[in-house]
Chain A
Amino acid sequence: MRTLENIILKLGSVDRRVIFVLIGLAVLVPLLRPVDLAIRPGEDSQKVYDTIEAMPENSNILISFDYGPSTRPEIHPMTLGVMRHLLSQDRGHKIYITCLWPDGLYMAKDALETINEEYDLVKNEDYVLLGFRPGNEAIVKGLESDLRKVFTVDAEQTPIDDIPMMEGINSLNDFQFIFTGSAGYPGTFEWVQYGGDPTGVTLSSGTTSIQVNEVMPYVKNEQLKGILAGMPGAAEYEALIGIRGIATNGMAAQSYGHIVIVLFIILGNLAYFITQRRERKY
């Protein structure tokens, strides 16, 4: 027993760099040698999927790219998944893209490039890239009252009056569904507070894991129709639409990384309690 305790004490006080290396390896190895893990969609991802499935034909869909390269691994698979889902239905949905983050524009361009390889989209006929406007929640509020005041030109400086797809699009009320891929401020909270709630337009979101706990009350209250929660949410959505993407490939790495972290948390706690007990004894 004492030998086991000594081993736990040693493992519990291991140098932090060893832990970093082990976590790194646990994440890297499954990426080099992919492992298939069963992915079962959860209630919240399913709700996003069902909401899009229930959209009437020829719906106007607004997708907001509210993230940058730093959170790309988590959010990009979600926006790609939602776009793939909308386009695979072949029901004449039109996609309008906005960005509350400046680097969101490049994420949107990257997503469109990927999607274009699969669906051969026509600019300004299948989608409009409205682009980025600084102003955070003021932009969402502006879109709610008068979209044409916020966007006079699209991302490539084309006047939106010259884009036929923009005909009849004057405010958020002209959309049937809004999806925000959000990595923080401005993002999901601002879309709920100034977009979804005041207009009643159906709103869903894909967020980074770190935001999930705070966003959940909106989901439970139906202010958000489902949520794609971090990389697992993205992987669940990929499972729902039947396309294996980067999120699915990352789930094994995610799981093994977690196992190592949980093991060290347990070891650290055991070592703490053993040390405490020994100190009380002597």
Chain B
Amino acid sequence: MEQLSFSTILGAWIAAFLTLGIFSYLYRDNPFYKIAEHVFVGVSAAYWAATFYWTQIYPNLFGRLFAVGGPFENIYVIDKGHEFSVLYFFPLLLGIMMLLSVFKQFNWMARWGIAYTVGIAAGLKAFGYLKSNVVEQIKASAVDLFSGSMPFFYNDTTDWYGDTVFNNIVLLVGTISALMYFYFSKEQSGGYGRFTRLGVYFLMISFGASFGFAVMGRISLLIGRFNDLILFSGPSYDYGTFWMLGFIIAVLAYWSFKNPEKQEV
């Protein structure tokens, strides 16, 4: 049997405790769930802050301001392979201005930083969306209706395999009817109303597929947690899962006895 280090076993026990703590919410809101939830939020925030500082601000900002050969070489040097660039005082200044939002008399300064960030993001997003989501998708939707270019089913073991015009028609009708549903300048009644109703059905099928995929994703995550719990229940982890499960059940039983669930009237 593989001998694991103390820190690995301790990590596994903590992981088992936190996983079971989150699962315990299924019973009711309880201290174990709250501990796991708060630890998760705190660790996430701290992890992100530390990672951002050490992977971005320190090497890419300070690494350029205090670069080897720069004017501040005699004060402090950060050698990350960058050359000194005076332009990087600009993001530093904007960053400081954003932090000043905590002081009431200076909080107007934060708007400069936010405006810059929003402007950059909007410019960057507009380019990507227009090309990949608008132009390319319009091109992809504009199929030759009678080309039969889209197979009915992929699976060649069925009789339905082969090129047909069916999917081209579905694509055309689905796209137009769903778009028409969001056109509110004309009353959706009569034949037009029935057509937009068809668009709603297309949208519902799409939402249904999304829901199905969401459920599948959640089950996959559950499988991941169970796999870990099964792993940690082995002798190489000193039966961590069982110990944690026993501990949580015992404490929860006592806690429930002391704090009976209030019945809804």
Contacts and interface: CB of A to CB of B under 8 A. Distances in A.
Interface of A: 17, 20, 23-24, 27-28, 31-32, 40, 42-43, 70-74, 102-103, 131-135, 137-138, 141, 152-153, 157, 159, 161, 189-190, 192-194, 197-198, 208-214, 217-218, 220-221, 223, 229-232, 246, 250, 253-254, 257-258, 261
B81 A221 contact: no
Given A74-B220, A209-B217, A213-B206, A135 B132 contact: no
Nearest to A76: B224
Contacts of A230: 213, 216-217, 220
B11 to A, nearest CB: 12
Interface string B51-88: 11001100100000000000000000000111000000
A28 B154 contact: no
B96 interface: no
9 contacts: A17-B26, A73-B227, A131-B55, A132-B55, A134-B56, A197-B128, A208-B220, A231-B216, A231-B220
- Of A197, A214, A229, the most chain B CB neighbours within 10 A belong to A197
Contact of B213 (A27, A192, A212): A212
B209 interface: yes
Contacts of A217: 137, 140
A138 B223 contact: no
Contact of B216 (A20, A214, A220, A232): A232
Given A70-B221, A73-B224, A152-B81, A132 B214 contact: no
Closest 10 CB pairs between A and B?
Answer: A73-B224, A193-B128, A209-B217, A221-B140, A152-B81, A43-B154, A102-B51, A209-B216, A231-B220, A209-B213
Contact of B124 (A137, A214, A223, A229): A137
Contacts of B51: 102, 132, 134
A31 B213 contact: no
Q: Which secondary structure dominates chain B's binding surface?
A: helix
Contacts of B206: 213
Contact of B226 (A28, A102, A190): A28
A254 B154 CA distance: 23
A250 B223 contact: yes
A137 B223 contact: no
B210 interface: yes
Nearest to A246: B227
Nearest to B171: A220
Given A193-B129, A231-B216, 15 more contacts: A27-B222, A27-B223, A27-B226, A31-B230, A71-B221, A74-B217, A74-B220, A133-B55, A134-B51, A153-B81, A197-B128, A217-B137, A223-B136, A230-B213, A257-B222
Given A31-B230, A193-B132, A17 B27 contact: yes
Contacts of A246: 227
A223 B137 CA distance: 10
B81 A73 contact: no
A198 B214 CA distance: 30
Contact of A197 (B59, B81, B136, B223): B136
B147 interface: no
Contacts of A159: 81
B160 interface: no
